[in-house]
Structure 1
């Protein structure tokens, strides 16, 4: 079947449709493919190899072979390779943004924003490559010296999500390459083409065959392919970003052979607005955090807690600003709210909104329904062009802790406001979740600000700040939001290193 690319690129060579293994573009052994669908139209516009478990060994063996040389490459050369990759991505930023929009559905402006954010990782980790240091000290025993050396762990497997595919790949690969590891990436079935474009640019930057391999696969083949990649004896490190449910499965597979893993999982992030907050500041941060990519971010504001004294005013401000969002295809000029990426995301969003209204919430904006009932039409989500996966933004008031939206991650353009009275109350309610990725608090009381930092149970706390993710800032959660850190000084690269302790006994006088 032939496909028509719905946009033009300055550099058409960026679009690659085959998997990338040891410097070659390859098909699946089965010859099977799966389609890439534009969420804004439900039209298939490309197809990629539907790799299965039988395709894994070649890719892992390739990366293991490449590791034997890459691991001894000096840090300066690794930094130069990452920087060359960085500059090529920068040169092709406009084209990559277009591909990203037609894979994820996010507005073109947001795709450019993701590229800018993502490039922070290649720039940062180029520097980190030369900041890996060991230690030496004089121990308590006489005539001895103790030293610690750090070495790359080996082949890393990266399982990345569809919501920020370029950022997640560069955040993981940047750290791995800085440490001296090689990597095999399995992109999400929704977003394989951006990953393949990055692999193409990595080859142009000078990375040797096998340093960066990519295996694409369908939704159906994702579990067996991922399991084969994780359990392969030459895989030494696994990094996963995705849901907590799948993260637990990944952790279980890694535990079989005690493989090192980093898990960045789901969030149920509280966003707290106190009476004394600057409401304009809080609203500005909430708008950028909540509606970005139609609410499909793990660190998005999931539960909006507003103190009673400003609850009505803040609700009015939120409804007024949100109603001005322009919903449409991500590639259309002026769009500020695109579709969700998958039709199953709409099904969950509708269920959460219906549950909230049933239990007493009031819908003050939106309908809580998919536009044109696209999730109910035959062929929806199968690339048959029945219409994009749209839902106009929803704002609900009168939210309570027994509603699904209080208990589950909301990955859609649906916002619910919870009223609270006291600081002690809201901290307790904010922490009543198994998740612990991020929390946000807005107040002009300095003492309270510090208490929020200490008392909120999350790996990242925004204080009068919404999204704070950056290359120089450690990213990761606590509780069931995972473990390990990505980005930040030292900590991210450390996830791809092993440490060896050496003890040396000295003879003679000195």
Structure 2
């Protein structure tokens, strides 16, 4: 089913090849009711496609397909699963241009950012293709000598995967790849704002040899009802969610009734700390990466910049100059460096945070303006002297806004950085390695970028503390999230 409208400017992507239906048990189908919803290009505000809007009943059909395919997939030899995952990686790399263009179209991020996402997303299949054949158990003698202790890792079962709009490829593969490597089957529910990328991936996975029913995809504008219905099904044993902390809390409540294993990658409010001995050029470059990846619409985005008083003015000017020079435009324009926000509500929310900070004494060094005549744009913005009581210091910004404040000593900045319900990631810049490691250990974050503005890596455990989540994605930890540990006591 293809119901696309509009064309992609400056791109060779053929939208007619992108599926728009529900992918259940290896087949594409329309919603039973015939319902659809539009996908909006945030660079223009116009509809580019309509996709199927599934019902709770169709959500249950996807669960049934995953459950039926489970035993055969779990029994598939690890090497066979590994080779299929490797083929997924290769096909994603082969079709990287197409995927990047589609991401830019429905998400708005620049083509450079989109290509970076595709490469990152594909790497999860290469990494977990290797992990699939290394899911080792344990064998040892009980301390009493009475028996042997045998430990196996078995697939947990049907997994419901719920992904956000800001990284439509990477957040899908970061969940699908370890689930399949562990021997689980799954139902993916992509965000309604950016479903096309996931649906194109489904075609790629089929070409790679993923059996029918192992991966199912359902798109809907009624996520609460559809996902809530699936979580009530006793055949479902796993929920993996990436999104806001607010929605995560709701899903955790829903999952509790069925005692589901939950992996939750939630919100962030990352501090970016620059000490007076830091390499200023490196710190500014790291700030641009940490702040402006995907235009600031990332859970790992640096939000609260704490700069030592001795270098605050120099850092602020250098960062403002870099932000002001960014070319803002349609994501799929090859010259664009900062695309639009995802929708009008996002523009209004971020602009409201800027205005609140200014009303409390913050100074706008650059940006602060919006343009919604065509698309959803907010100029890259730097605020100086942001007060601790400003809303922008307590909320996830999710936009191209850097909020700067100054500090004088180490204890002060650590206390300020930890003064948040979030604990996903922190960034620290200093030439003193001992101080860098000391501060890193005291920061209440699951990840630290020490003299680095980018930490994401399929080989590293991604995840946070406090209200930023439960569990880890990537690394060997990622596959364990989809396993049950079975202990067998034996004598021989």
2:119 aligned partner: 116
Matched residue, 1:51: 54
Aligned 1:125-136 pairs, distance under 5 A:
125-136=128-139
Q: What is the correspondence of 1:51-90 to structure 2 with a 5 Å cutoff?
A: 51-90=54-93
- For these two proteins, the number of residue pairs brought into alignment is 489
CA shift in 2, pair 1:13/1:183, >3 Å: farther
**Does 2:442 align with 1:440?**
no
Q: Residues 295 and 52 (structure 1 numbering): CA distance in 2 closer, same or farther, change over 3 Å?
A: same
| Distance in 1 of aligned mates of 2:14 and 2:99 | 10
For 1:74-473, list aligned pairs within 5 A: 74-218=77-221, 221-366=222-367, 368-371=368-371, 374=372, 387-473=374-460
Secondary structure at the counterpart of residue 378 of structure 2? coil
Output the TM-score relative to the length of structure 2. Answer: 0.97
Q: CA deviation at 1:311?
A: 0.3
Aligned residues: CA RMSD: 1.3
User: How far, CA to CA, are the matches of 1:279 and 1:193 in structure 2?
Assistant: 41
Counterpart for residue 28 of structure 2: 25
Distance 2:199 2:128 in 1: 21
What does residue 491 of structure 1 align with?
A: 477
1:160–1:186 contact (8 Å) kept in structure 2: yes
Could you tell me how far apart the structure 2 residues matched to 1:147 and 1:242 are? 37
Q: Quote how far apart the aligned CAs of 1:12 are.
A: 6.2
Deviation, 1:9, is: 4.3
In 1, Cα distance between the equivalents of 2:186 and 2:236? 9
Cα drift, residue 143 of structure 1: 4.7
Q: CA deviation at 1:343?
A: 1.3
C-alpha change, 1:142 and 1:321, in structure 2 (3 Å) is: closer
Are the counterparts in 2 of residues 14 and 200 from structure 1 also a CA contact under 8 Å? no
- Contact 1:327–1:335 (8 Å) recurs in 2: yes
- Alpha-carbon offset, residue 330 of structure 1: 0.9
2:35–2:53: 8 Å Cα contact kept in structure 1? yes
What is the rounded CA distance, in whole Å, between the counterparts of 2:312 and 2:207 in structure 1? 54
Deviation, structure 1 residue 14: 4.4
Residue by residue over 1:360-400, the C-alpha shift from the partner in whole angstroms, topping out at 9 and shown as x without a partner, is 1111111x2321xx2xxxxxxxxxxx510001111110111
Gaps of 5+ in 1: 375-385
- Cα distance in structure 2, aligned partners of 1:335 and 1:296: 16
CA distance 1:101–1:362, change in 2 (3 Å): same
CA-CA distance at 1:320 after TM superposition: 1.1
- What TM-score, normalized to structure 1? 0.94
How far residue 332 of structure 1 moved from its aligned partner, in angstroms, is 1.1
Residue of structure 2 equivalent to 1:379: none
Range moving further from structure 2, 242-251 or 229-238: 229-238
Partner Cα separation in structure 2 for residue 344 and residue 159 of structure 1:
22
What's 1:505 paired with?
491
Q: Report the alpha carbon displacement of residue 141 of structure 1 after superposing the two structures with TM.
A: 3.2
SS in 2 for 1:137: strand
In the alignment, structure 2 segments of 5+ residues that lack a partner are none
Give the drift of 1:2: 6.2
SS at match of 1:71: helix
1:246 and 1:390 map into 2 onto residues whose CA distance is 25
> Which residue in 2 is equivalent to 1:377?
none
The Cα shift of 1:142 comes to 3.7
